[in-house]
Structure 1
Amino acid sequence: MSENSTDQFFKSTVLGHPSGLFVLFFTEMWERFSFYGMRALLVLFFTTSIMGGGWEWPREHAMALFGSYVGLVYLSTMLGGYFADKIIGYRWAVVVGALLMTLGHFSMALETPFFIYLGLGLMVFGNGFFKPNMTSIISEMYKDRPEKKDGAYTIFYMGVNAGAFFGILLCGYLGEKVGWSIGFGLAGIFMFFGLIQFWLAQNIFGDIGLKPKKDDVNSVETLDKDIRVPFTTVQLVLIAIMVLMGIAWLIFEPVALISEGKINIFNFSVLGLSGNNFTILFAILLFIGLTIYRLSKYSLITRQKLIAVTFFAIICAFFWAIFEQSPGTLTIFARDYTNRVLEGNASLIFLIVDALMTFIPLIIISWVLYLLSKQTFSKYGKANIILSFSFVILWLIAIWKLVKDFYSAGYLSLSDGTLELLKIEKVTESLTEIQASWFSVLNSLFIITLAPLFSKWWESKYNPSANMKYGIGMFLLAIGMAFVAFGASGIEPGAQTASVSIIWLILVYLFHTMAELCISPVGLSYVSKLVPARMIAFMFGVWYLAVAIGMKGAGKFGENIDKIADEKGISYFFWMLTIVSALAAIVSIVMTPIIKKLMHGVR
């Protein structure tokens, strides 16, 4: 075994993979816990009445800020990736990102305007440093074991979804039923646990992720004989202008809206366009022009492969613009238009299902923690103690939630200071109210359940082409939106409340999760297959730019929900999203022969 071989990491394994993978698993789990836990509360907090502890914003304002926040989160990954690659290394980038996010969550727990905005800003930069560099460490760890890499990313993806699941479930529950600051603060506590655990166990990664050395030779550069198209000074200046205009628009567009024009740096017009629209349109046109020019300079095969990647990125932007209605308009629909109060047997069934959903994953992940501790406690005892302590808190919160729900529904009674479980026949008026954020949990639950099935599909002889996967994904997205549009068809225009069945939201999340499995993991895979090795980092940046555009698009769609709901009914809004999804699906499928030719045999 050579000195630099990554086989050394396989000396200590858990479930056949290096113990270091599970250090990353739990770090990422707590980061996703904090990110999705906070995100589930954000729009609800802004739009809840002052009497309910919120800010009582119009939905338009909340969705504008939400869209800019998630858009900036994905744009910031380019900055974080650059600093990690060139200056501080992956490990310090993860630590800096986790620290910034911890401070961001604690800031939001204070609930004042200054600290809410400060918290959002800290989390934008924190995500930028954290998000791209965790997967980079995994890639380095499996450099000499490529056959194990798919399994590693599958395990890591389970950590992502486990964190999202528990974050939405518990932060959402505490935020809505106890207090917003408690929900925001809990997200920060577990992000802090993830940070400390990673810091104390980081030596398990050997030399991976340390500060880059200036004399490192990139073998990819020397082996790649394709035409070089270096960026000129003029092009770099144009890129800087585009980036500054895009960031200014993302930040100050919602600021102008929320301040009702009192703070507006776009208070001008050009060629009949408002300053706001001109700024972003000009930045987009610059980007398109520069992209077309640079594509024309590459060799024919490289140019065609890059055009294929660009096509998939455009479809991806539409996907995220509609899929990300989950923490926004769909959560608002759950709160204001869905009958979330269950009675009698329905109440009991929900409480049992919710308990099983909570404790079965918790038991499985606790077992993984036990296996990791057995392998690493002798060397990394402090990290294991911190991680175990975080799980003790997680268990206590989950048990407290279970007891509180059964007590509130009437299945538990308090007598002489002790809880007594009542027989079902003695409970005459059982009531359970599902919190609005709970429905977002279904996405992670369905991913964990369905991901293995889709993985088997992709590995079978029935594996669809890239365009067909995107087409299937967008049609599934359309079907999901059609369910909620149909469910909302009886709501009159201008109605502020309704009592639609919860089944429609459950179906939305089922179909949207299947759509995500067709599109989200597949996209990054095609970037790595189609793009020349020396350009992968740059094209991942372009891909995340497309995701950022989609995220902001989700906010722009959501900004119009009240206007459309008042004029034509909220069902019309969801039918519009259904049509957009279906059209994108048709375009993807129709373009199959053309894109297949541009991909030159890549599957």
Structure 2
Amino acid sequence: MSEQTEPSGASALREPSEAPQRREVPRDRAFFGHPMGLFTLFNTELWERFSYYGMRAILLFYLTDSVANGGLGLDDTLGAAMVAAYGTGVYLLSVVGGWLADRVIGARRSVLYGGIVIAAGHVALTIPSAGFSYLGIGLVALGTGLLKPNVSSMVGELYGREDPRRDSAFSIFYMGINIGSLAAPLVVGLARSIGGYHAGFAVAAVGMGIALVFFVLGRRLLGGAGDVAPNPLTAADRPAVTRMILVVVLGVLVAVAVAWVVSGGFGPATFVDALSYLALVAPVATLWVMFRSPKVTDHERSRLRAYVPLFVAATLFWMIFEQAASTLAQYAESRTDLEVLGTTLSPELFQSINPALIILLAPVFAWLWVRLDDRPPTAVKFAIGLTFAALSFVFLAGMSAVFADTKSPPWVLGGVYLLQTIGELCLSPVGLAATTLLAPKAFRGQAMALWFLAPAAGNAITAQLVQATEGASDTAYFGGIGLVALVFAGAMFAIAPWVTRHIRAGAESDAEAALQR
């Protein structure tokens, strides 16, 4: 996060308009009508997501499997809560990555250093030791926080604010994410079946190494995107930054202390609860800093007001969607019939359904947004996305009741992932594009980090729900969440005109305002 007040004196922070301008992007239409820099970022994110989703595909099973089978032996409820907390940590640390990119090292270096830390984390996970496993999980979370928000913000830097290719570019970029996500559970799951959990983690380490190679070799195609911190620190900033760091450290200590009191001791559950509290407070604090900053103009504040309900809708969407690695993974393992035509499916396989559907449908949606001239407005797309996510859980609740006395067929989870994928394509790439468009210039990296705090908060809610509803039936659990999300989706449809008006009011040109119809 940035400091709350602007320092005075001759060495005060530069205004956003004084930030250095990047060079012209080379080969502006060489990659399917887009800059070749998109190709570099596409491949970097593809292989980084391969490593991340490969590790995530087997993480729950590793945590909850018996020690005799090579796992850590945690109970199912705590394992699911820890996976959700891990997802919280990954996205919570994106605040750190966004701040460092904005104020210190720029987006490109943040991506590079993050990739190196992720690779080190995956290597640690290859060592058969509980201590190295927890170290590896922590390093992957830290490295992803450095990398994830900034590679996405660099995609936005390749395009002018009025460039109609922006949504299409993020749909293409999103397809790269899902190519990696599709291959990861299949390859890592195969490696796990042959050589155990640590062999699977080794494959994830190789994927991250390939991502680093693409990023380093493709730097010249980025046209300087991400080279310079847009809001660099000066000597006058040191007191404010010191105060900010002290506040953050104090906040972490308070969260741990509260979690300690609530859980009645110090253990894995304390860690889960502390992360949950931080994830729920962090986006509120980040938005508060942005609204109060003198570097944010009135136009930018109008855009921020519009962003708040979009953020809430995204949080609820990711609360549902991110359960693929926790409650849905448990459903695949224990409540799904894995015998198909004499073949036993691995539970990891179901986590490849969503990216496979994304690969098939992302080009269709990219074409659709261009064909519709980017209609409907962003807020309506968010409402549609949340509606489909909510319906996926309502559907799963109904099917779990129908198959209450037996295991459900594989097509049930297939239907869940189909509904979630349609919702994802309406909300996620559109949300990435909207964040780069609505972000205040002085908070570009942090605004992208704020976008990734939505899944952090969603995972935090899941971590609490899993523990609070222990023993509840699948029908009650999934049905309750789905119905609540449907109510919020209806509210999002109702306030969509208000959101659109504020986005238009915050536009920096008539052409930009016209994009919101």
TM-score bucket (shorter structure): 0.7 to 0.9
Q: How far has the Cα of 1:73 moved from its partner?
A: 1.4
Q: Which runs of 5+ in 2 are unaligned?
A: 1-20, 506-512
Q: 1:361: which partner in 2?
A: none
The superposition leaves residues 343-382 of structure 1 with CA deviations (integer Å, 9 ceiling, x where unpaired) of 2xxxxxxxxxxxxxxxxxxxxxxxxxxxxxxxxxxxxxxx
- Among candidates 432, 436, 443, match of residue 354 of structure 2: 443
Q: How many residues matched?
A: 483
Match of 1:487 in 2: 399
C-alpha separation in 2, matches of 1:79 and 1:170:
31
Distance 1:109 1:171, change over 3 A: same
C-alpha contact 1:306 1:531 (8 A) present in aligned 2: yes
1:129 is displaced (CA, Å) by 2.0
Please say if residues 102 and 188 of structure 1, whose CA atoms lie closer than 8 Å, have aligned partners that are also in contact. yes
- The residue identity in structure 2 corresponding to 1:480 is S
AA paired with 1:156?
A: F
Residues 114, 144 of structure 2: 8 Å contact kept: yes
Compared CA separation, residues 193 and 583, structure 1 to 2 (3 A): same
Partner of 1:336: 334
**1:49 touches 1:56 (CA, 8 Å); kept in 2?**
yes
Secondary structure of 2:401's aligned partner: coil
Change (3 A) 1:585 1:204: closer
CA–CA distance in structure 2, aligned partners of residues 173 and 101 of structure 1: 22
Distance 1:254 1:503, change over 3 A: farther
1:261 aligns with 2:265: yes
| SS across alignment from 2:109 | helix
Query: Matched residue of 1:464: which SS?
Result: coil
Tell me which residue corresponds to 1:572.
476
The change in CA–CA distance for 1:33 and 1:254 in structure 2 (over 3 A counts) is farther
Higher Rg of the two aligned structures: 1
**1:444-593 aligned within 5 A:** 444-459=355-370, 460=372, 463-490=375-402, 498-560=406-468, 562-564=470-472, 569-593=473-497
Aligned pair 1:68/2:85, yes or no? Answer: yes
Tell me, what secondary structure is at the counterpart of 1:74? Answer: helix
Query: For structure 1, which segment, 441-450 or 44-53, has the greater mean C-alpha deviation from structure 2 after superposition?
Result: 44-53
Deviation at 1:506, TM superposition (A): 0.4
Question: 1:315 Cα deviation (Å)?
Answer: 1.5
For 1:78 and 1:340, the matched residues in 2 are separated by 40
TM-score (norm 2): 0.80
2:25–2:223 contact (8 Å) kept in structure 1 = no
Q: Which residue of 2 aligns with 1:224?
A: none
Q: Quick one: structure 1 residues 559 and 282, their matched pair in 2 at CA, closer, same or farther if it must change by over 3 Å?
A: closer
Give the aligned residue type for 2:251. Answer: M
Alignment-derived partner of residue 6 in structure 1: 24
Q: 1:242–1:287: 8 Å Cα contact kept in structure 2? A: no
Q: What is the Cα deviation at residue 250 of structure 1?
A: 7.7
Q: Structure 1: how far apart are the matches of 2:229 and 2:287?
A: 34
What is the Cα deviation at residue 304 of structure 1?
A: 4.3
Identity of aligned residues (%): 28
Which residue in the other structure is 1:305 paired with? 303
Distance (Å, rounded) in 1 between the aligned partners of 2:239 and 2:454? 24
Q: CA deviation at 1:94?
A: 2.4
What's the C-alpha RMSD, in Å, of the aligned pairs? 4.1
Q: Give the gaps of 5 or more residues in structure 1.
A: 217-230, 268-274, 344-430
Distance 1:320-1:44 versus aligned 2 partners, 3 A rule: same
CA distance in 1, matches of 2:103, 2:280: 30
User: Match of 2:127, SS?
Assistant: coil
Q: Which moved more, 1:554-563 or 1:440-449?
A: 554-563
Letter in 2 for 1:470: F
In the other structure, the counterpart of 1:400 is none
Displacement of 1:143 after TM fit? Answer: 5.7
TM-superposed CA distance for 1:97, in Å, is 1.3
Q: Deviations over 1:417-438 (max 9, x none)?
A: xxxxxxxxxxxxxx21111011
Q: Which has the higher contact order (CA 8 A, sep 6+)?
A: 2
2:171 is the alignment partner of 1:173? no
Question: Which residue of 1 is the match for residue 99 of structure 2?
Answer: 82
Q: Return the offset for 1:573.
A: 0.9
Greater shift in the superposed pair: 587-596 or 438-447: 587-596
Describe the shift of the 1:141–1:339 C-alpha distance in structure 2 as closer, same or farther (beyond 3 A). same
Change (3 A) 1:255 1:134: farther
CA contact (8 A) 1:43 1:63 kept: yes
Q: Structure 1 residue 318 and structure 2 residue 316: aligned?
A: yes
Is the 8 Å Cα contact of residues 84 and 93 (structure 1) preserved in structure 2? Answer: yes
Q: CA offsets per residue over residues 518-541 of structure 1, 9 Å max, x none?
A: 111222333344444344444333
Counterpart-to-counterpart distance in 2, 1:535 and 1:92:
17
Alignment TM-score, normalising by the size of structure 1: 0.69
Deviation track 1:547-571 (CA, whole Å, cap 9, x = no partner) reads: 321122232233345421xxxx222
